[in-house]
């Protein structure tokens, strides 16, 4: 039995770099309906998931053309990344810490995550309570002493997060709430 090696690295949704003993190739499109560009040329793949049925068609010859295809895809991805560098940086880099924001700035100037994104442990800032009767406790456990009951839509400042609990400040009260009841956008 011969030695085999295969590794797929997803760069963007629908874009993968494939590494194997035979070389490097790039796949564009969802698995089961993709185009592969490699040193042996361009190949289109189509399949029905879970059935074992698939069809493969070679579209272009290999050699320098395949390598030029890979370079074109990588160059296109680099150009796309350059054009969208600000969006990529916002996705990768944590939000501005609350301590770096002056008191004169409004809450609208604080970078906020989309409502469907989980609370980021490295991004202190304004959060909204999404469940009526959420309890602010003195320690991060359900048996902790109740400091205050928050109403739906109440604004709190996130300090940190650990083990499903968020340390928050509401006015002059600092305590712990379940992280699942907090959101970056006001509730509807």
Query: Is position 15 within any domain?
Result: yes
Q: How many domains does the chain have?
A: 2
Q: Are residues 82 and 16 in the same domain?
A: yes
Q: What is the pLDDT of residue 26?
A: 86
The SS3 of residue 77 is helix
pLDDT computed for residue 137 by the predictor: 92
Question: Is residue 22 located within the same domain as residue 45?
Answer: yes
Query: Do residue 111 and residue 175 come from a single domain?
Result: yes
pLDDT for the residue numbered 105: 47
Q: Domain check: are 113 and 172 in the same one?
A: yes
Q: Residue 172's pLDDT is what?
A: 87
Q: How far apart are CA 102 and CA 175, in angstroms?
A: 23
pLDDT for 147: 92
Q: Is residue 188 part of a domain?
A: no
pTM of the model: 0.36
Count of C-beta atoms within a 10 Å radius of residue 165: 20
Do 119 and 156 belong together in one domain? yes
| DSSP helix/strand/coil, 55 | strand
With respect to residue 1, please indicate whether it lies within any of the assigned structural domains: no
Q: Smallest Cα–Cα separation from 114: which of 80, 132, 91?
A: 91
Domain boundary among 91, 121, 148: 91
User: Which residues in the chain land under pLDDT 50?
Assistant: 95-122
Confidence at residue 170, expressed as pLDDT on a 0 to 100 scale: 87
> In this structure, are residues 113 and 184 in contact, taking their beta carbons and an 8 Å threshold?
yes
């Amino acid at each position: 039995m011969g030695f085999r090696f295969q590794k797929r690295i997803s760069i963007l949704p629908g874009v993968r770099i494939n590494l194997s003993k035979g070389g490097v190739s790039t796949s564009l499109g969802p698995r089961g309906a993709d185009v592969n560009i490699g040193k042996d040329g361009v190949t289109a793949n189509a399949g029905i998931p879970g059935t074992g049925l698939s069809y493969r068609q070679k579209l272009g010859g290999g050699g320098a053309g395949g390598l030029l295809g890979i370079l074109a895809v990588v160059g296109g991805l680099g150009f796309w990344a350059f054009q969208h560098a600000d969006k990529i940086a916002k996705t990768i880099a944590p939000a501005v810490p609350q301590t770096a924001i002056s008191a004169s700035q409004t809450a609208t100037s604080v970078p906020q995550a989309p409502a469907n994104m989980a609370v980021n442990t490295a991004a202190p800032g304004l959060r909204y309570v999404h469940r009526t009767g959420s309890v602010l406790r003195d320690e991060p456990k359900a048996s902790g002493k109740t400091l205050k009951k928050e109403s739906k839509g109440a604004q709190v400042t996130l300090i940190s997060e650990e083990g499903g609990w968020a340390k928050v400040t509401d006015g002059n009260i600092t305590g712990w709430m379940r992280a699942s009841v907090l959101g970056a956008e006001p509730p509807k």
